[in-house]
Amino acid sequence: MAKEAPAPAADAQLPAPKLIVAISVDQFSADLFAEYREHYTGGLARLLKGAVFPAGFQSHAATETCPGHSTLMTGAHPARTGIIANTWVDLSAARAEKKVYCVEDESKPESSTSKPFVSSVHLKVPTLGEWAKKQWPASRNVAVSTKDRAVVMMGGHQIDAAFWYDRGAYTSFVGAPLPPEVLKLNDGLKALLAKGAPAMAVPAWCGSRDRAVNAGAVTVGTGRFVLDPKGKVKPADQLRISPRADAATLDLAASLLTSMKLGKGAAPDILSVSLSANDYVGHAYGTEGLEMCIQQHELDQKLGAFFAKLDASGVDYAVMLSADHGGIDLPERLREQGVPEAGRGDAALSGETLGRAIAAELGITKPLPACNLGPDVAGNIVCSDGVGGDYWISPQLTPEERAKVSEKLVARLKAHPQVEAVFTADEIAATPYPHGHPQDWSLIQRARASFDPTRSGQVYAALRRAIIAMPKAGPGYVTTHGSIWDYDRRVPMIFWRKGVKGMEQPQPVETVDIAPTLAAMIGLKVPEGSFDGRCLDVDGGPADTCR
């Protein structure tokens, strides 16, 4: 018998990186990544040499920004993070407004969904940065974005530096002072908003995307992001809905890297950066026009410049890049481009409209709290945040009335031609917590992964594929995500570190795998059972990230 050959020597394990740079590109669908990856020459081209998972899944049904960001750094599905939506309805809330924003503390009298008192109170689990601080008190946890909800969900409850954009300037939690680098950035933004900026350059390969499409009162498809101080849209919003927003957020991240000496302390630091422009551009112009082409080009180039600054700092850093959810184009262009079934959700599917009809049918006339600010209205017995998704039934009805309303609501939703599936909270709660390949999950399993019995509605409705939950297009809003379908669930997941062999792994993985993978990379011990995800071996060679 031949002597066994010695096992090949494993690559030496690298020492832990000193800085984790976790990047979320808002609404960066796997479809956008597939469409544009051949054109990347900057930061995204560098990441393509890392470990690329083109089929990462935000596995749950509620594919919105707050739930999606809540999975990235916690390793937990929204069912455990408690972040079941951007905005949910709490009909037993003490205040007049019954809607609750995911990162507000609604117990503060000055807080509302439009002007929230920003807080992490609703997040039920710790983030990677918080686990790191527990193991190494010297570790710093930093988070920046255009959006407050991205900062809070990636950073968590204990953030050393947290900044987001609000009406023209970066800001922080109430009472947190703004350091000199933020004040300087804000001065620069103020000057830019007053002066304006010309149209952005169009890469030659954007080609055929430069074509006007009408969506009701608005036309999209040919925008070039002129920043006009005298424009109809406020300059601060023009900047927000443009690649310039990402440039500002990345400038801020780079200046914090220098001022806080991130990656140069005694323990690994975590820098979370959520880039929101991709989402604002997607909502305002759709995903297949000239605007998104320019946005993808700018994102790639701005990330390249940011990574060059990280290189120059001399810090040994690792990058993770993913997204909070995917997206889909506006139905008007979808129909012109091979998806004739695309359409806009019927406004009659709102909870308020359905509730009034059911109240009339059942003869329920007591005045109940309106879903949002306003006087109590007779027959207002069901609330929702738009069309489809969660429906909340008034707790002020008797249990018998509630049961009847639920039955009628389910029947009306099921009878609607735009509705694919309807589940009651009891049915979702009785569904075992899903595991296994997320692309194979049933619709109710997807709903289970973003179900929290204390916050979710009593009925959930999934709209049919390519029915956009936005009854009418308007300026700044022509399409949206949030559906149970894979175009909203599937996002790229990429890990990059200098000196680590790259690879491409097309098998599905989940965004809840990110936190356990990063934890293993930096040697962070997290109690068994804390994560829904698993560690991914992101070294393309025989070395094992998870050992």
Q: Which residues are catalytic?
A: 65
**Least distance CB 490 / Zn ion (angstroms):** 14
181 versus 329: smaller Cβ distance to Zn ion:
329
User: Which listed range, 52-60, 123-131, 276-284, 471-479, lies at the site for Zn ion (CB under 5 A)?
Assistant: 276-284
Spatial CA neighbour of 464 closest among 420, 530, 510, 494: 420
- What is the spatial distance between Cα 118 and Cα 172, in angstroms, rounded to a whole number? 9
The site string for Zn ion over 313-342 (x = CB under 5 A, - otherwise) reads -----------x------------------
**Least distance CB 26 / Zn ion (angstroms):** 4
Sole binder of Zn ion in the list 279, 291, 486, 532 (CB under 5 A): 279
What SS3 string covers 519-546? HHHHCCCCCCCCCCCCCCCCCCCCCCCC
65 versus 545: smaller Cβ distance to Zn ion:
65
Note whether 539 binds Zn ion by CB under 5 A: no
**Least distance CB 353 / Zn ion (angstroms):** 27
- The bridge status of strand 459-463 relative to strand 419-424 is antiparallel
Spatial CA neighbour of 279 closest among 69, 493, 503, 15: 69
- The bridge status of strand 459-463 relative to strand 490-497 is unpaired
- What is the spatial distance between Cα 293 and Cα 297, in angstroms, rounded to a whole number? 6
- What is the spatial distance between Cα 259 and Cα 247, in angstroms, rounded to a whole number? 18
Evaluate whether 492 touches 33 at the Cβ level (below 8 Å): yes
Evaluate whether 342 touches 53 at the Cβ level (below 8 Å): no
69 versus 99: smaller Cβ distance to Zn ion:
69
User: Which listed range, 271-279, 391-399, 404-412, 525-533, lies at the site for Zn ion (CB under 5 A)?
Assistant: 271-279
27 versus 171: smaller Cβ distance to Zn ion:
27
Question: Residue 196 is which amino acid?
Answer: G
Evaluate whether 396 touches 420 at the Cβ level (below 8 Å): no
- Residue number of the CB atom closest to Zn ion: 65
Evaluate whether 422 touches 440 at the Cβ level (below 8 Å): no
323 versus 522: smaller Cβ distance to Zn ion:
323
- What is the spatial distance between Cα 272 and Cα 321, in angstroms, rounded to a whole number? 10
**Least distance CB 354 / Zn ion (angstroms):** 27
387-399: burial string, b at 16+ Cβ within 10 Å, e else: bbbbbbbbeebee
User: Which listed range, 18-26, 44-52, 100-108, 455-463, lies at the site for Zn ion (CB under 5 A)?
Assistant: 18-26
- What is the spatial distance between Cα 306 and Cα 154, in angstroms, rounded to a whole number? 19
**Least distance CB 477 / Zn ion (angstroms):** 13
- What is the spatial distance between Cα 364 and Cα 378, in angstroms, rounded to a whole number? 8
**Least distance CB 279 / Zn ion (angstroms):** 4
- What is the spatial distance between Cα 139 and Cα 160, in angstroms, rounded to a whole number? 9
User: Which listed range, 275-283, 334-342, 428-436, 464-472, lies at the site for Zn ion (CB under 5 A)?
Assistant: 275-283
Helix, coil or strand: residue 53? strand
Q: Site for Zn ion (CB under 5 A): how many residues?
A: 4
Contacts of 177 (CB under 8 A, 6+ apart): none
**Least distance CB 324 / Zn ion (angstroms):** 4
- Rounded to a whole number of angstroms, the CA Rg of the chain reads 23
The site string for Zn ion over 23-62 (x = CB under 5 A, - otherwise) reads ---x------------------------------------
26 versus 148: smaller Cβ distance to Zn ion:
26
56 versus 502: smaller Cβ distance to Zn ion:
56
**Least distance CB 81 / Zn ion (angstroms):** 15
65 versus 242: smaller Cβ distance to Zn ion:
65
**Least distance CB 65 / Zn ion (angstroms):** 3
- What is the spatial distance between Cα 510 and Cα 518, in angstroms, rounded to a whole number? 13
Sole binder of Zn ion in the list 29, 59, 63, 65 (CB under 5 A): 65
- What is the spatial distance between Cα 452 and Cα 442, in angstroms, rounded to a whole number? 18
419 versus 514: smaller Cβ distance to Zn ion:
514
**How is the chain split among helix, strand and coil, in percent rounded to 5?**
35, 20, 45
Within a 13 Å sphere around the CA of 365, how many CA atoms are in the beta-carbon half? 1
279 versus 288: smaller Cβ distance to Zn ion:
279
Evaluate whether 213 touches 336 at the Cβ level (below 8 Å): yes
Evaluate whether 386 touches 469 at the Cβ level (below 8 Å): yes
Render 288-327 in DSSP notation, one character per residue: SSHHHHHHHHHHHHHHHHHHHHHHHHT--EEEEEE-S---
**Least distance CB 66 / Zn ion (angstroms):** 8
Q: Rule CB under 5 A: which residues touch Zn ion?
A: 26, 65, 279, 324
